[in-house]
Structure 1
Amino acid sequence: MAKNYLKSPDLLPIPHSKKNIGSLGFALIWVGMAVVLAAFAIGGSGVRELPLGWVVIATIIASIALGLLMTLTGDIGVEHGLSFPVYMRAPFGTVGTHIPSVVRGFVASCWFGVNTYFGAAAMNAILATLFGFNNMFVCFFIFAVLQIVNTALGMKAIERFADLAAPVIIIISGWMYFTLSDQALQEGRNVWSWVESPATGGAAVTAFMVVIMSNMGFWGTLAADMPSLSRFVKAPKLERNWFKRNKSQIAGNVIAYPIVQTFMVVIGAVSYIAVTNFDPVVALQESATGIVLGILLIMIVFAQWSTNTSANLIPAATIFSNVGGPKVPFWAGVAVAGFIGIVVQPWSLFGVIIGILLIVGGILAAICGILIADYYLIRKRRVNVRDLYESEGQFKYFKGVNLAGFIAWIIGGAAAVALKDYSFIVGFAAGGITYYVLAKYWWFKIYVQAEIADPDDAKYLGISVGNDWTIDLEEESVPNVAIVPGQTEHI
C-alpha cells in the first residue's frame, strides 16, 4: 500500500504497452457515447425557432470545434498517460484539485442518472409491450446495476460492449430517422422547412448561438477530462508530430463524434416536428408498434448504456478514486458515481436540461481554458510527473492549493454565467487568459516549476521522446533520474 495518499494504484500513468484502444475502437466508443437523449433535446429545442438546416450547421460548428478542444486536452493522456484529476494537481494543487474535479464528477454522475432513467424507460416500454411487465423502478435499478458492473470490469469490457453496440446503434438510428420523418410527412410537415415559431434578426442569431453553446456545453464536460479516457488510446512512441501522435483521438473526436452528434440532433428535431416531443421514447411509442417499436427501443437502451460507461462513469469514478486516495479503488469510485446518479432523482432534470447545459458548460469551459493554458502555453507539454504524486513536491504550492487556478476558475465561471448565451466561449477565454497571466507573472514566480525553469525534453516529455512514467507505490520519494529517449523512467 502506498504511503503517499496521492499514489492510488488506479491513478498511476498508463504506460505505452497498456494503451490498447486504436482509431477504430475509439471511433466506435464515440458512436455509442454520442447517442444521448440530451442531444435529441438540443435538436427539438432548436427547431422551435430555426429551420433544421441552421440547427445542423450550428451543431457541426460546435462539434468540430469541441472535438479539436477534446484532442488538445486529450494529449495529456496520450503523451503522459495521466488522468484528468491527476493532471489537475498542476493548475490547482495537490489538494485544490479535488474541488473542480468533484464538480466534474458530480455532473458526470448526474448525467449517468439522466441517461439511466431514459434507458430504463425504454427497457420498461419493451417489457410492458412484450410481457405486460410495467415497473419503472425495477427497470431503473436493474439498468443502473448492469452499467455499474460493466464499467467496474475495466476499459476492455467497455470497448467490447462498444464494438457490439455501435453497429446496432448506427443501423437503428437510420431506421429511427426515416420512421419519424414519415410520421412528420403524414402530419403535413416537411422536416427541413418546418419551424414552430421562426426567429428573425437578432433573435435568430441568439437562437443559433444557443444551439452552438448547448452542443458545446453538453460535451464540454468530457472536453475537460478527456485525459481520463485518452490515456488508454494507442499512440506511436517517439512521434513528435502532434497530429500523428493523436491520430486515434482525431478519428474519434473530430470525425466520428461530429457525425454522430449531428445525426442525433437531427433525430431529436424530427421527433419534435413529428409529435411535438423531442423524447424519442415517447415519439416512437406514438409512431411505431410491435416488433419495430421493440427494436427501436432496444437501440435507446444500448445507446444510453454505451454513453454512460465511457463518458460518465469512467471520469466520475477516476475523480472519486483520486479524492479517496489508495483506499478508494476504481470500482468503488464507480459505485459512488452510480449512487449519486440515482439519488439526484434524474427524472426531474430533463425538463431544464438546456439551461443547465449552458451554465454548467460555461463553468467547465473555464477549466478547459485553464488546462490548455497550463499544459501548452506555460509548461509547453513538459510535465514533472514525479511531483504530481508527491505530497511535498512542487505542486504542493500554498497548503496544496494553486491560487492562480482558483482565481481564474472563479472569474471564468462568473463570466460564463453572466453571458450564458455565449457561456462556453466566454468561460474558456476568461479562464484561460486569466490563468496564463496570473500563473506566469505571479504564482510561478513564487513557486518555481522544474519543467519551466529547466525545459529539458528528455526529463519532462512523455512518449514523444520515448519516456514511460512509472510510480513506485512503496516509496515516498526517490530520485528523479534523467533518461535517454527510448528508455523507461522509473520514479
Structure 2
Amino acid sequence: MSARTETETETETRALRVEAAVAEEATYGSLPLTKNERTWRAGDFGWVTLSLAIATWAFLTGGSTVLLVGFSDGIAAMLLGNTIGLAIMVLGSVLLSQRLGVEQYRALKSVFGAVGIAIIVFTVVLVTEMGWTSLLGVMFGRAFTEISNQAFGTGFNVEGPIVTVFALAALLGGWSLLSRGPVAISKLNRFVAPGLLIIVALMMVLLMSQHSWADLFAAKPLAPFEDETLNFSMAVEFNLGAGLSWWPVMGTLARLTRGPKAALWPAYGGIFIGTVVAQIVGMAAALMLGAADPTAWMVPLGGPVLGILTLLFVGFANVTSMGSIAYSTVLAIKQSSGQLLAKLRWPALCAVFLFFPAVLTLFPSFMYGQFMTFVVISGAFIAAICGVIIADYLIVRRQNVPLRALYASGTNDPLRFTGGVNIAALAAVVIASVFYLWVYNPITLETQPIFRYATATLPTVVIAIVVYLILNWLLYVRRGLGAYGQADPFAAAGKK
C-alpha cells in the first residue's frame, strides 16, 4: 500500500512539473495560452497601455509636433494621426493574437510563413524595438543627469557619457523587471499609470498658472517650413507613425487578456488617452518654454523639488515601459530563431536583446536628433505590414486560422507557402513601403502632391492590401495552397 502511494505521489509530482513547464512555455514561448493562463482583465491591460503611452516619449512626441505647427493645429494633427494610426495598428495586431491566444509572431506565420515572419522580425521589428528601447534608456539617462545637476550641482552634459551610464542602469532595471515576466509588469503598472496621470495633470496646471491660454494658442511653431499645409501634413504623418509604432508589441500583450473586449478597447483607448494627455502637455511646454525635450523643461516648470521628484518618477516609469516593449520583442526573437536560441533561459534571452539597445545608448545625442525620422521610417514599414495582415486575416481568411498549422513543420506544413515564405506578403510589404518613401522621404523631406491631402500612410495601407490580394490569389489561393478556407477545429469545438 505504501509503495502504491509513493508511486502515485511521484506520478502527481511529474504531472505538476509538466503542467508548470507547459505554463512557462506558454508565457515565455509560443504555445497557446489557456483560459486560466489569460490573467489580464480589461483594467489590467488598460493600466499597461496607459502607462506605456504616458512614457517620456509621449512628451517628446508632443514637443516634436510643435516644431511644425502651433498648439491648435498640433492638437488636430495629434487627434487625426493617432485616431487613424491606432485603428490600423489594432486591426493589424490585437485581433489575431487575442483570438488565438498565441504569441503574435507565431500567429503571423499564417500571413508571412515561418521563414517570412523571421525576416520581418529580424529586420523591421528588431530594429524598431531596439530604437525605442534605447530611446527610453537615453531619456532615463537625461532625466537622471538633470536630477544630478539640479540636486547636487554637478554640471554634467545632458549629451555626455554620464547619460550613457544612467541609460545602462535603466536597461539593467528593465532586464530585472522583464525577467520576472508579464505578471510583474502588470502589477507595477497599476501604480505607475495613475501616478503618471497625476503628474501630467500637475504639469499642465503649473504651466497654465505661469502662462495664459491666449499666449499658448498664439505661440508660433518652433521650426516650421514656409508651406503651412505641408507643415500640417507632416505633423499628421508623424503622429500616424507614432500610433503605428505600437504594432510590434500590442498583439503579444493582448493575448494575455481574458476576452476580445478586454483587449480591443484597452489597446486602443489606453494608448489614445495616454498619448493625448501627455502630448498636449508636451506641446504646451515646448511652445511656452522653448524646449521639446521633457527632461529639459520639467525642473524649470516644477521648481527644484517638485521638478526633481517628477523627473524621478517619470524616469522610473520608463523602465516599466521598457519591460513591456522588450517582453514582446524577446518572444518574437525566441519564436523566430528556430533552434538557435531555443536553449537559452528567459533571463539570458532578455539580456541578449537588451545588449543591442545598450550599444545604441553610447550615442545619446544621435537617438534624440533623429527621433522624428526614426518614427516616420519605422511607420512606413509597419503601415505596409498592417495592410498585408488586414488583407489576409480579415478579408481572405475571414478570421479563421487553422491553429494546429501554426505548429506544423516540414513538407506537410499547410502554411509552408514557398519554402516557408509567403512571397505575396513580402512583395506587398516591399512595394507598399517603397511607395511610402516615394510619397514622403523623411530623410530628404521630399514629398509628392498626394501627401498634402492623403498622407503617405493611408495610400500605403491601401496599396499593401490590393497588391497582397492580387498576388496571394495568383500564387496560393487559386492553387489551393496556404490553408485558405480550412475550418479551425478549435473554433468549431468551442461552438459545440
**TM-score (norm: length of structure 1):** 0.83
Q: Is residue 330–residue 353 contact of structure 2 (8 Å, CA) maintained in 1? A: yes
* Distance verdict in 2 for CA 1:198–1:228, change over 3 Å: closer
Q: Does the CA-based 8 Å contact 1:362-1:416 persist in structure 2?
A: yes
- Would you say the 8 A contact 2:106–2:335 is kept in 1? yes
SS at match of 1:172: helix
| Secondary structure of the corresponding residue to residue 116 of structure 2 | coil
Contact 1:362 1:425 (8 Å CA) reproduced: no
**What code does the residue aligned with 1:315 have?**
S
Contact kept, 8 Å, 2:203 with 2:301, in 1: the verdict is no
Q: 2:408, 2:394 → 1: CA distance? A: 23
With over 3 angstroms needed to count, the CA separation of the structure-2 counterparts of 1:172 and 1:96, relative to structure 1, is same
AA aligned to 2:465 is G
User: How many angstroms apart in 2 are the aligned matches of 1:81 and 1:358?
Assistant: 30
Distance 1:484-1:119 versus aligned 2 partners, 3 A rule:
closer
Q: Shift in Å at residue 199 of structure 1? A: 7.1
For 1:316-355, what per-residue CA distance to the aligned partner results, in whole angstroms no more than 9, with x for missing partners? 1111112333324543332222111111235112112112
Per-residue CA deviations over 1:82-102 (Å, capped at 9, x if unaligned) read 222112222221112111112
Aligned residue among 339, 343, 349 for 1:333: 349
Deviation at 1:369?
Answer: 0.7
State the distance in 2 between where 1:167 and 1:388 align: 38
Aligned residue runs from structure 1 range 57-76, under 5 A: 57-72=76-91, 73-76=93-96
Is it true that 1:324 corresponds to 2:337 in the alignment? Answer: yes
Bigger CA drift: 105-114 or 205-214? 205-214
Partners of 1:383 and 1:460 within 8 A in 2: no
| Structure 2 match to 1:113 | 134
Compute the displacement of 1:198 (Å): 9.6
Give the distance between the partners of 2:210 and 2:141, measured in 1 at CA.
25
Structure 2 residue aligned with 1:152: 179
Aligned-pair distance for 1:143? 1.4
Name 2:466's counterpart in structure 1. 433
Where does the alignment leave 5 or more consecutive residues of structure 1 unmatched? 236-245, 466-482, 487-491
Report if aligned partners of 1:284, 1:293 keep a CA contact under 8 Å in 2: yes
| 2:116 maps to 1:96 | yes
Residue matched to 1:279: 293
Number of the residue aligned with 1:485: 495
Residues 26 and 278 (structure 1), Cα distance of their counterparts in 2 relative to 1, 3 Å cut:
same
- How far, CA to CA, are the matches of 1:82 and 1:249 in structure 2? 14
- TM-fit CA distance, 1:230: 0.6
Kept in 2: contact 1:224–1:368 (CA 8 A): no
Mapped contact 1:34–1:257 kept (Cα < 8 A): yes
Q: Which moved more, 1:221-230 or 1:103-112?
A: 221-230
1:307 matched residue in structure 2: 321
The question of whether the paired residues in 2 share the 8 Å contact of 1:83 and 1:228 is answered with yes
Alpha-carbon separation, structure 2, partners of 1:415 and 1:225? 25
Say yes or no: does 1:28 pair with 2:28: no
Contact 2:66 2:74 in 1 (8 A): yes
2:11 aligns to what?
none
**SS, match of residue 226 in structure 1:** helix
Corresponding residue for 1:194? 219
Name 1:232's counterpart in structure 2: 256
Match of 1:480 in 2: none
**2:60 corresponds to which residue?**
41
Aligned position for 2:270: 256
Deviates more, 1:372-381 or 1:422-431: 422-431
Q: Which residue of 2 aligns with 1:238?
A: none
Whether the 8 Å contact between 2:97 and 2:107 is mirrored in structure 1 is no
Match of 1:266 among 272, 280, 288: 280
Alignment match, 1:343:
359
Residue 408 of structure 1 and its aligned partner are, at CA, apart by 0.5
Q: CA deviation at 1:118?
A: 0.7
Quote the Cα distance in structure 2 between the aligned partners of 1:162 and 1:146: 15
CA RMSD of aligned residues (A): 2.7
Distance 2:296 2:478 in 1: 58
Relative to structure 1, the CA distance from residue 436 to residue 18 in structure 2 (aligned partners, 3 Å threshold; closer, same or farther) is: same
What do the CA deviations read for 1:205-232 (whole angstroms, capped 9, x no partner)?
3322222221221231322552211100
Give the match's secondary structure for 1:394. Answer: coil
User: Would you say the 8 A contact 1:59–1:215 is kept in 2?
Assistant: yes
Cα deviation for residue 150 of structure 1 reads 0.4
Equivalence for 1:475: none
Does 1:175 pair with 2:192? no
Partner residue, 2:409: 391
Q: 1:250 to 1:123 in 2, by over 3 A?
A: same
Partner of 1:77: 97
Deviations 1:229-284 (A, max 9, x none): 1100111xxxxxxxxxx222233233222222112221221221122111111112
Residues 147-177 of structure 1: CA deviation (Å, up to 9, x unaligned): 1110121110000110111111011111122
What amino acid is the match of 1:192? F
Query: Using a 3 Å threshold, how does the CA distance of structure 1 residues 426 and 360 change in structure 2: closer, same or farther?
Result: farther
CA distance in structure 2 between the partners assigned to 1:210 and 1:22 by the alignment: 37
CA contact (8 A) 1:49 1:195 kept: no
Q: Which residue identity lines up with residue 142 of structure 1 in the other structure?
A: A
1:189–1:274 contact (8 Å) kept in structure 2: no
AA matched with 2:417: Y
Change (3 A) 1:41 1:301: closer
The alpha carbon displacement at 1:460 in A equals: 5.5
2: CA distance, partners of 1:352 / 1:416: 19
CA, structure 1 residues 414+460, in 2 after alignment: closer, same or farther (shift >3 Å)?
Answer: farther
Q: Please state if 1:123 is matched with 2:123.
A: no
Show CA shifts across 1:362-397 (max 9, x none): 111101111111111111111112121122211222
2:59 and 2:294 map into 1 onto residues whose CA distance is: 8
Q: Which runs of 5+ in 2 are unaligned?
A: 1-17, 157-161, 441-450
Please give the TM-score of this superposition, normalised by the length of structure 2. 0.83
Residue identity opposite 1:56 in structure 2 = I
Residues 359-374 of structure 1 aligned to structure 2 (within 5 Å): 359-374=377-392
Query: 1:356: how far off?
Result: 2.0
Paired letter, 1:436: L
**In structure 2, do the counterparts of structure 1 residues 329 and 423 end up closer, same or farther at CA, with 3 Å as the change threshold?**
farther
Match of 1:19 among 38, 42, 46: 38
C-alpha distance in structure 2 between counterparts of 1:69 and 1:273, whole Å? 30
Identify if the C-alpha distance between structure 1 residues 389 and 9 changes in structure 2 by more than 3 Å, giving closer, same or farther.
Answer: farther
